[in-house]
Amino acid sequence: MSQRPAPSVREKLAWCLFDFANSSYTTVILTVVYARYFVGVIIEGDQWHGLHEDTWWAAAGVISNLVVIFSAPIIGALADRVAGKKRYLLFSTIACVVATASLSLWGAGMVIPALVCVILATTAFSTGENLIAGFLPELAKPDEMGRLSAYGWTIGYFGGLGALGVALFLVESDNTALVPAATAAFFALAALPTFVFLSERASPVASRVRPFEAAFGGLRKTWRERRRWRDLFTFLGAILLFQGGVYIVVSFAAIYAEQEIGMADTDIILMFIALQVAAALGAYAFGFIQDHGGSRRALLLSLAVWIAAVLLAWQAFTANGIWVAGMLAGVAMGSSQSASRALVGMFCPPGREGEWFGLWGLATKASAVLGLAWYGILMALTDDRRFAILMALPLFVGGLVVLAFVNPERGRAAAANGITAAEP
């Protein structure tokens, strides 16, 4: 790594502000407003070409995340080689903004162009997620990563809150079709400080190996060395499971509230505004739990909250019931996302940030494929949203069980020494 001054508070804030910017996409497009617009307006009726409307929305997520699974290792290897995380982050942000704005062009019955734009936007968004996470080990010491990651998620949820406020204004003025364009503008403007103040602190790495070989050759090497990185791979297995449950809830919560509970547009947006506040508080509060009790302990607690939220949502038949489930999910969302990113950063050896966070991205995108495909298949077979939501439960429980086998101290020692620490 090149010799640079220690990261400033301004630079750390600029990193956090990207979470503020990109939360607009996940909150407004993937969860609260456009998801319901897609199944309620773009797809006319309950089915399209013989498949349930929810299954098509799930399919868009599956396809985009499959693309990222194969592209993330290559992009991570390229970013490490040319010290280009910031440059590639800019490209992915522009792509996401343009594709998101394009969603405002498509109306009722225009399923194919809408699907294509959602897939492109989500692919670009997910690529940016991996790249911004790769800066974390450069900006914080191992014992500070939990707090900085939590700050990022906390600020991010306020970004989602602001974007929801804009969306609420447009929905109430009967301009729902303009929501994607407004969200794209919000994302672009809010991301500007990141590109102005965040530094590329890595140095280019000379190599004659082609990027494709470097990416997948590195993955093969890391896989062969998996015993040395035991806790990283165990944790990635936990992510594969519990994050699949998170993707189910995030992608279909608003649709569930509208179709199963009968909540109106404005009420759903207001509930998710409150949920954003709960998520921000959860990320912030659990940041202190991470620093004092450890990221794994914080994550175990957040998964228990997720399980309670899913059970309550399954049994909710009124707006009050779904509000309680939503607030619990908000707290769990903020804490689980923050703790996951911090643990990966803790297990990361110096100079391998792109590769390690590429693996993290690989696991999270594979979990999206698993969770969304699972939900989509269940909906295609049963046409029962309550049952499909309940079936997120095994993913959370399985993730919790696998996470119990992760040893943070051993994983941190392996990252520092390049070898597996002695058994405690």
2 found inside a domain: no
Q: What is the pLDDT of residue 354?
A: 62
Q: What is the DSSP string of 243-288?
A: HHHHHHHHHHHHHHIIIII---HHHHHHHHHHHHHHHHHHHHHHHH
Q: What is the pLDDT of residue 258?
A: 93
- In the 8-state DSSP scheme, what is residue 203? -
Span of 149-163, 165-179, 385-399 with lowest mean pLDDT:
149-163
Is pLDDT at 312 greater than 90 in this prediction?
A: yes
More confident residue, 297 or 321: 321
Nearest one of 39, 67, 32, 31 to 55, comparing CA atoms: 39
For 91, residues 6+ apart whose C-beta sits below 8 A from its C-beta are none
More confident residue, 401 or 231: 401
The string of pLDDT tens digits covering residues 90-105 is 999 999 999 999 999 9
For 12, residues 6+ apart whose C-beta sits below 8 A from its C-beta are 139, 140, 148, 151
Is pLDDT at 389 greater than 70 in this prediction?
A: yes
What mean pLDDT is predicted for residues 268-281?
A: 87
88 found inside a domain: yes
**Model confidence at 151, in pLDDT bands (50, 70, 90)?**
confident
Buried b / exposed e over 260-280, threshold 16 CB at 10 Å, is: bbebebebbbebbbebbbbbb
Q: What is the pLDDT of residue 422?
A: 37
- CATH code at 388? 1.20.1250.20
What mean pLDDT is predicted for residues 106-114?
A: 95
114 found inside a domain: yes
Determine the Cα–Cα distance for residues 191 and 115; give it in Å rounded to an integer: 25
Is pLDDT at 242 greater than 80 in this prediction?
A: yes
404 found inside a domain: yes
How many Cβ atoms sit within 10 Å of the Cβ of residue 312?
18
What mean pLDDT is predicted for residues 112-123?
A: 97
Number of domains in the chain: 1
222 found inside a domain: yes
422 found inside a domain: no
3-class secondary structure, 47: strand
Is pLDDT at 46 greater than 90 in this prediction?
A: no
Domain with 226, as residue range(s), is 9-202+209-417
**Model confidence at 80, in pLDDT bands (50, 70, 90)?**
confident
Span of 214-223, 244-253, 294-303, 331-340 with lowest mean pLDDT:
214-223
Alpha-carbon separation of residue 52 from 14, 39, 367 (angstroms): 42, 9, 22
The string of pLDDT tens digits covering residues 275-291 is 888 877 877 777 777 66
**Model confidence at 210, in pLDDT bands (50, 70, 90)?**
low
What mean pLDDT is predicted for residues 164-185?
A: 96
423 found inside a domain: no
HSE-CB of 71 using CA atoms within 13 angstroms: 16
Is pLDDT at 209 greater than 70 in this prediction?
A: no
Q: Among all chains, which residue has been given the structure tokens 């307006």? A: 41
Alpha-carbon separation of residue 286 from 82, 279, 333, 391 (angstroms): 35, 10, 11, 27
Token digits of residue 189: 């403007």
Is pLDDT at 261 greater than 90 in this prediction?
A: yes
Decide: 386 and 314 in contact? Cβ < 8 Å.
Answer: yes
Cα Rg of the chain, angstroms: 20
Nearest one of 88, 103, 71, 287 to 184, comparing CA atoms: 103
Is pLDDT at 350 greater than 80 in this prediction?
A: no
Q: What is the pLDDT of residue 119?
A: 98
Residue-averaged pLDDT of the chain: 87
Determine the Cα–Cα distance for residues 348 and 418; give it in Å rounded to an integer: 10
Is pLDDT at 204 greater than 70 in this prediction?
A: no
245 found inside a domain: yes
